[in-house]
Amino acid sequence: MFFVSLIPIRSGSPGEDSERSDAARNRERLLVAARELLDECGVDSLTMDKLAKRAGVGKGTVFRRFGSKAGLMMTLLSDAEAEFQGRFMFGPPPLGPGAPPLDRLVAFGHARIGYLLEFGDLARAADQSVYTKLEVPATLLWHRHVELLLRAAGMTADPWLMAIFLGATLDPERLLYAVRVQDVAPERLAEAWTELVTRVVGKA
Amino acid sequence: MFFVSLIPIRSGSPGEDSERSDAARNRERLLVAARELLDECGVDSLTMDKLAKRAGVGKGTVFRRFGSKAGLMMTLLSDAEAEFQGRFMFGPPPLGPGAPPLDRLVAFGHARIGYLLEFGDLARAADQSVYTKLEVPATLLWHRHVELLLRAAGMTADPWLMAIFLGATLDPERLLYAVRVQDVAPERLAEAWTELVTRVVGKA
DNA sequence: ATAAGAACCGGACCGTAGTCCGTTTAGCTC
DNA sequence: GAGCTAAACGGACTACGGTCCGGTTCTTAT
């Protein structure tokens, strides 16, 4: 009932069954071109027109494949995202199972901060889609993860909503803004997170 | 050094000195037209072209006056925003001065939730401007307000960053999403906020 | 009143995300 | 291997926010 698939980002992997050969070829070309463009000019300067041109396909093909720019970013992010998901769900403690819930919560925030420092631009572009930001499967998954940790740590008052509140704190856009524009050291973010969740989970 | 002007939203008020008569007339026309369009079709369907047409001015005039769509929204919001600012800075307790810091924090969140339920669409449109979201003077002001309340309540660990974290929770987009899409009752949001800040300020 | 110049005006123009639909092609069947 | 069909293709098109600049209008000084 609460299952969320582990790698639900988008079908960017070639494993997709029954795909025409030209479609597969073009998808591959597009992904290659997209990574090149990202290296060269960053997320914001990557336009769908440039991408189509670089990959040698029509613009329509780009959108058929990925649905939107956000969809493309999700695809590009899917490997890193899956790895991250694997770490907090199945990896070694304190991030993975085995450690006390509060320790896992703390570790989760730290890991997410690190993840966003590395892939935050992609994540920001993948999220931004006005009202669907929170409907991205990957987001649903880690929100639920936080909720379960809150419950395990003994929180009884609306852990679902509290997870959303805490999740707001780890928003890519805000975090990147803090680090890049406000010049907040990542360690400081991590400490504040520790402080926050420790107090929220309460007396421990 | 930490002064933030109370009504810094944007010079939408007619008090602006030395403004040419045609400019003043057009600004007034634009504001009237904008409110009409907002009533008729909502924030998202209000386009700058429609607005210019409705007001009987050129598109360039709209942008010269308000700078951007976000700027227009700020102007439209400025009265409500100023009133809100006045309430939490000078109004009666527990929102205004006189009550214990924690009570004021709780009241602030509740008031902001109410504010966003009423003006959230405008606020969302006014904020959204990729990287400047947190540089809006009004936002700086209430973040600082929260920071000062945290300090007053005895928090010593990075109250500035903690205020930003708590502020993320009161983001227009997230709040509206919770209420409208996830169907969370406003009272539930208020309770969760109470729970959150009570725990964060902690039993000292 | 008039002339000069600053401020303002308007709409053509641009870049971008996303859509549409007539055309092409891969892959299956006979 | 010819023919058929569904899938994929591509690029012209739309909608929107935002910019630019030649022309117009208000204001002020004389």
pLDDT-wise least confident of A2-16, B28-42, B80-94 = A2-16
A12 Cβ contact list (under 8 Å, min separation 6): A27, A31, A74, A75, A76, A78
Which CATH code is given to the segment(s) B16-67? 1.10.10.60
Retrieve residue B53's tokens: 């047409």
- Residue B99, SS3? strand
Distance A35 CA to D2 C1' (A): 42
Distance B32 CA to C2 C1' (A): 37
Would you state the pLDDT for residue B147? 97
- Banded pLDDT at B12 (limits 50, 70, 90): very low
Per-residue pLDDT tens digits for A18-51 = 788 888 899 999 999 999 999 999 999 999 999 9
A14-67 under CATH 3.40.50.1220, yes or no: no
CA B2-B7-B13 angle, 5° bins: 150
CATH 1.10.357 in chain B is located at 68-201
Which residue in the block uniquely carries the two structure tokens 């499967």?
Answer: A137
Which residue from B106, B108, B101, B68 is spatially nearest to B85, judged by alpha carbons? Answer: B108
CATH 1.10.10.60 in chain A is located at 14-67
Report the residue of chain B nearest A185, measured CA to CA: B161
B188 touches A at CB < 8 Å: yes
B72 within 8 A of B63, measured Cβ to Cβ: no
Out of A130, A133, A184, name the one closest to residue B161 (CB): A184
Among left, alpha and beta (phi > 0; psi -120 to 50; other), residue B27 is alpha
Distance CA A87, CA A32 (A): 27
Distance CA B164, CA A111 (A): 20
CATH 1.10.10.60 in chain B is located at 16-67
Q: What is the DSSP code string of B55-85?
A: HTS-HHHHHHHHSSHHHHHHHHHHHHHHHHH
- Residue B3, SS3? coil
Q: Chain B neighbours among A 58-117 (CB < 8 Å)?
A: none
A68-201 under CATH 1.10.357, yes or no: yes
Per-residue pLDDT tens digits for B145-193 = 999 999 999 999 899 999 999 999 999 999 999 999 999 999 999 999 9
Q: Which candidate in B102, B144, B158, B161 is best for mutational testing of the A interface (most A CBs within 10 A)?
A: B161
Cross-chain residue pair B199–A195, CB shorter than 8 Å:
no
B185 touches A at CB < 8 Å: no
> A99 - beta bridge partners?
A97
